[in-house]
Structure 1
Amino acid sequence: MEGVDISDGDPGFAILLTLLAGLATTIGAAIAFCVNTDDNRVFAICLGVSAGVMAYVSFSEILDMTNQSFQDANLSARSAFTFGTLTTFAGILLAMLVEFIGMKCFHRHAGEIVVSDAPEPEAQDMAGEKPLSKSERLNMLQMATFSGIAVALHNFPEGIATFISTMADPSFGPAMAFAIAMHNIPEGLAVAAPIKKATGSKCKAFFWAFVSGLSEPLGGLLGWLVLKDVLGPATYGIFYGLTAGIMIHISFKKMLPTALKYDPNNYYTSYSFFAGMALMAISLIAFRWA
């Protein structure tokens, strides 16, 4: 982004586009409301699709952005690849550490707030469904927490890129924002589905999907005010690498095992995982052609 002239752009229009792109996560939350996530098959499909989305975007886009950012920092291609790989595995280790600390904290306060054994009123209305155990609800909430953090981390630099690109070329901004919005929709589903499953609350699921999407306009706003002159390519490389690692951890350590728990014969999980990959691939192709 160095050397881009944004002095003549319309900041209001640029912020609006980043806001609309980011809040597409709420469309994903709405999809979670339209399906019965208390049906084990449906929930396994939701998790499989979400895992496919996160895995594909990590391996096909974010890792590439990591390596490119390090090359933009004047590193050789092999050095950039090495640093990109290291930061990605650092992200996986960071996610494992946060998971360990989070489980300790959750179990320490297991009798408080949303992790009590009694389901919320909205959850109790689901006829014929066995309430989740305390450990299952803890797992769902932790999965949602990781998903929200990863989506927010992913959206933040996207917000900066969308804002600055729109300021530099207003005709390009809408197409870029639309493409980003398309792959924010399944990311919103990844945040909302486990929250709805754990708490039975559509409001909480929608709220946290909304919050995860807010990092996009926040990134755009900070890009306008401060960060365009502060963050260098190497910082973006680290940022993207950590994000990729966290998303990979969520996909393979949390979402897929949980999906298979609700679909033990793997009738739906693998196919929904591939469908999620295809969905993200289509959105990324649209982004390339925007």
Structure 2
Amino acid sequence: MSTLNAMIIGSLVGVIGTGLGGAATYFFKNPSKKFFSGLMGIAAGLMLSIVAFDLLPHAFEIAGLSMAIIGILIGAILVSLFDMLIAEGGITKNTYIKEGILLGIAIALHNFPEGLAIGSGFMVSNSLGASIALVITLHDFPEGLAMATPLSIGGVSPFKNVVYTVLAGIPTGIGALVGVLTGGISPYFIGLNLGIAGGAMLYVTCGDMIPQARNIYKGEISILGMILGIIGGIIITKYL
């Protein structure tokens, strides 16, 4: 696999996966608060499940418990700093748009080590790289959907949602390029990055997405959505 081809494949994985999640908002013109609450619950559950049962276990396996935990703390602190900068800088007073921006940052952090995994996989064999790319594409769809949902609630148009989610997927291609160029990159570096990505996703999901899902609609739909999302993430992790 050439460097250029690996980068192209990595970029397509991120762009298609998250972009399709953003494009889904084209089909929801005037959804109810109940619908959005359930949708955000499902997306939050999917992300929690993937982080807990896929992303972090790989980080623990590759870099060890201590290094992965350090990564989790770094990721959470970085996103909390972005959160404060957005709030203090007056980027937006719309909490839903702020949430979408933060989630986009977290997804971008997540996509870089995923790209590393794709690039490293292709360095072993084309079949391994292709299988990793397929799994990550499936993983990226709910992340793009989770990012686009609060943006859509905040009034962002479907077209801009697609643009923003596509931009969040670009680091996958950069990560794939780095993975191919470095080849024998330290496993501790990859594990640390996976931990950072996991910490960032946990911060946004637990600190923003879940509370917002509950605030949009006070019923139980968001809780049921989260449970369904977690089950869906377990199935994806188990069989893909």
Show structure 2 runs of 5+ residues with no match: none
Name the aligned partner's letter for residue 183 of structure 1. Answer: H
Alignment-derived partner of residue 130 in structure 1: none
Alignment-derived partner of residue 88 in structure 2: 104
For the Cα contact (< 8 Å) 2:23–2:159, is it kept in 1? no
Alignment-derived partner of residue 77 in structure 2: 93
Question: What are the residue-to-residue correspondences of 1:1-290 with 2, within 5 Å?
Answer: 9-23=1-15, 24-36=17-29, 38-70=31-63, 80-106=64-90, 115=92, 135=93, 137=94, 139-225=95-181, 227-228=182-183, 231-266=185-220, 268-287=221-240
Distance (Å, rounded) in 1 between the aligned partners of 2:124 and 2:70: 33
User: Alignment length, in residue pairs?
Assistant: 239
Distance 1:16 1:282, change over 3 A: farther
Name the aligned partner's letter for residue 101 of structure 1. Answer: L
Segments of 4+ moved more than 6 angstroms: none
Tell me the alpha carbon deviations over residues 168-197 of structure 1, each in whole angstroms, 9 at most, x when there is no partner. 312333322111111111011011111122
Tell me the alpha carbon deviations over residues 186-227 of structure 1, each in whole angstroms, 9 at most, x when there is no partner. 0110111111221331122111100111111121123333x4
Displacement of 1:38: 4.5
RMSD: 2.1
Distance 1:144 1:224, change over 3 A: same
Structure whose CA Rg is larger: 1
Displacement of 1:258: 0.5
For the Cα contact (< 8 Å) 2:152–2:161, is it kept in 1? yes
Going by fraction, where is helix more abundant, 1 or 2? 2
Distance 1:82 1:161, change over 3 A: closer
Under a length normalisation based on structure 2, what TM-score does the superposition of the two structures give?
0.89
For the Cα contact (< 8 Å) 1:18–1:220, is it kept in 2? yes
Name the aligned partner's letter for residue 158 of structure 1. Answer: E
Name the aligned partner's letter for residue 23 of structure 2. Answer: A
Name the aligned partner's letter for residue 206 of structure 1. Answer: V
Distance 1:168 1:191, change over 3 A: same
**Residues 158-167 or 257-266, more deviating:** 158-167
Displacement of 1:279: 2.3
For the Cα contact (< 8 Å) 2:116–2:190, is it kept in 1? no
Displacement of 1:12: 4.4
Tell me the alpha carbon deviations over residues 234-257 of structure 1, each in whole angstroms, 9 at most, x when there is no partner. 222322222111111111110011
Distance 1:281 1:193, change over 3 A: same
Distance 1:50 1:10, change over 3 A: same
Displacement of 1:99: 1.5
Give the fraction of aligned pairs with identical amino acids, expressed as a percent: 24
Name the aligned partner's letter for residue 19 of structure 1. Answer: S
For the Cα contact (< 8 Å) 2:41–2:210, is it kept in 1? yes
Name the aligned partner's letter for residue 174 of structure 1. Answer: A
Name the aligned partner's letter for residue 166 of structure 1. Answer: F
